[in-house]
Chains A and B, each alone.
Chain A
Amino acid sequence: MNESAANAASGRTAPEGLSVLGGVWAVLRFEWVKLLGRRITWVPFLVLAAVITLITIVFHYLEFKTTITFFRTASMNFDSKNDFVNGYYMTAHAMLPVFRMLIPIFVAVASGLMVAGEAEGGTLRACLIRPLPRSGLLLGKFAILCGYALALSVFAIALLLACGIACFGTGDLYTINVVFQNGEGGASMVPAAETADRFVLAALFATMGMAVLAALALLISSLANTAAMAYVLTLSIYFAVLTLRMMPFLDWLYPYLFVTHMMRWQQCFYEHVKVGEIYVSLVHLGAYLIAFLSAAMVLFKERDIQS
């Protein structure tokens, strides 16, 4: 090596590597490009649009006879569906299956692709030989995943409201408490003026639940070797716990299950929001989130990247 070349090499010293925060920032700058560049990222939006269209059509043709009977037992007397079915009613009710089934599936798949999928494709090792801490990489991916979950939630709720209001107008929101698992019988009425706040609150709360699922999915994704393995495992765990949640004789277990708290956004459509219960759920969700994320970071750091 000649003198000048040696100087050239040492004159431009490479940076000292990135801190955890620097790593998060570096990941944030590009992870969304990767996310948006993949076609599969857009499939959930199409599915949501299709499902919501279908729901609107069903609401249009359905007569809601059993529902009217239900409301009657809660001493709310409606003559026809026109008295309670409106855009808000449709949105609140459609949110139940959307947030219990669809969005969890989409979040699980996206997070499976984010780490295990990259391990499968070999790009994970290309990322990890860069001078950024593994925890920074994981946190950056988690942030993007939360953003994705929020985008899906907002898209679903906005489209539901748009379709619902366009077809059925607005009005007060009537709900049957048992359907929304408020822990009480009877029915609720939220005045039309208050519904906007309730939907915003419900969207944020539900997304918080999705963030917990995202953390769990990322934990599994960072240990699995293939994307398929990651999201099959995640969804198995999620639906297994959801099944436990539905077993009546296991109700002593409910307060400890994360799905209980993930579903707590339903409180937002109760006549008087139980603020205390919402705080309890927020604390639980936060604890689950921190636990899943720290486990993911510790285990991912120790993991040998063999793919």
Chain B
Amino acid sequence: MPLSEPLLETRGLTKVFRRRFFGSGSKHLVAVDNLELTVYRGDVFGFLGPNGAGKSTTIRMALGLIHPTQGSVHIAGRDLADGTRAALAKVGAFVERPAFYPYLTGRKNLEIFAGLSGGVSVRELDEALDRVGLSKRADDKVAVYSHGMKQRLGIAACLLPRPELMILDEPTDGLDPHGIREVRELLLSLARDDGLTVFLSSHFLGEVENLCNRAAIMDHGQTILQGALDELEREHRRLRVETGRPAEAAEFLRGKLGLEPRLVDGQRPALYFALKGARAEDVNALLVQAGFAVRALTPEPAWLERIFLERTTSKESNVARKAEA
């Protein structure tokens, strides 16, 4: 797929929070640090990062809720800080978690929020409710909704009026496996059938792997990885190969393909290496041709998770570790 026009762009986006109280160490906290993100039209973009990485802060800036300390956000080529709110007319979004007026019905809530974008017809409202499977409960007060229903109502609110870009902060947060799957399928169908661009933050790496075509991993306010998932996969995903004479096979691969296999001894010694753009089937063919008996060749199952864990640090677990020491 050729790269299309950028729909959401951040350039040098920075947010520094001033600490208000004494005694909490440094005076400033750089929540987002010179962030450069590009989401192209048609993308389903996964935004990953440990707790406190700055995902929600970035999304708040992208929606004009908080003002960047530096840098800019462009939506469909329009600067968010241009004084008008036009850039947001193309966006459906929620941050942290969708919020509603609990004493009003789901339908009334949707009507109110869509009204602030200029209003929608009753038919569009019904369609959105139907799409998230809330038609039957639309006339109940939101106060009696379950968490999953609120989350789905939040997505319905994003669809009204029809956006070009959806920005969702942890859309599957707190949902049961059915709910997660429904949301995932809904987002996929919106992207595939309706041509919506979706930008979502998530803690579920598997979800991002399944759903997204592009992703970024953020840590301490900076992106440590960004790109098309299949390219990232080719670059970073490791292959596990069990062959006869593993040490020789490692030498062979190093010489022939410039790979860097690591031999892990154990009950069943195996080679681990990143493919660096090579294809697994070619590696297999080469090994067999060279007379190595390939017993097993498995792509690493949770490659994204490994990268995530290797390259990011969890603030919370750091605290725990310090407390232990």
Contact = CB atoms under 8 A, between A and B. Distances in A.
Interface of A: 1, 5-6, 8-10, 12-18, 22-23, 26-27, 29-30, 33-34, 37-39, 121-123, 125-133, 137, 302, 304-306
Contacts of A13: 90
A262 B109 CA distance: 37
Contact of B113 (A12, A33, A37, A130): A130
Interface stretch (B155-163, B201-209, B225-233, B243-251): B155-163
A74 to B, nearest CB: 52
B194 A131 contact: no
Contact of B195 (A1, A29, A30, A131): A1
A302 B81 CA distance: 12
A133 B162 contact: no
B196 A131 contact: no
A303 to B, nearest CB: 9
B116 A304 contact: no
A22 to B, nearest CB: 7
A129 B42 contact: no
A305 B101 contact: no
A127 B114 CA distance: 9
Which applies to chain A's interface (DSSP): helix, strand, loop or mixed?
A: helix
22 contacts: A1-B191, A5-B195, A6-B42, A6-B195, A9-B194, A9-B195, A18-B116, A18-B118, A23-B116, A26-B116, A34-B104, A125-B60, A126-B94, A126-B98, A127-B113, A129-B94, A129-B95, A130-B88, A130-B116, A137-B116, A304-B66, A305-B65
Contact of B84 (A9, A12, A17): A17
Contacts of B96: 122, 125
Contacts of B113: 126-127, 130
A132 to B, nearest CB: 6
Contacts of A14: 89-90, 117, 161-164
B276 interface: no
Report the 5 A-B pairs with minimum CB-CB distance, sorted nearest first: A122-B99, A9-B195, A5-B195, A130-B116, A304-B66
A10 B108 CA distance: 28
A44 to B, nearest CB: 17
Interface string B148-183: 000000000100011110000000000000000000
Nearest to B108: A33
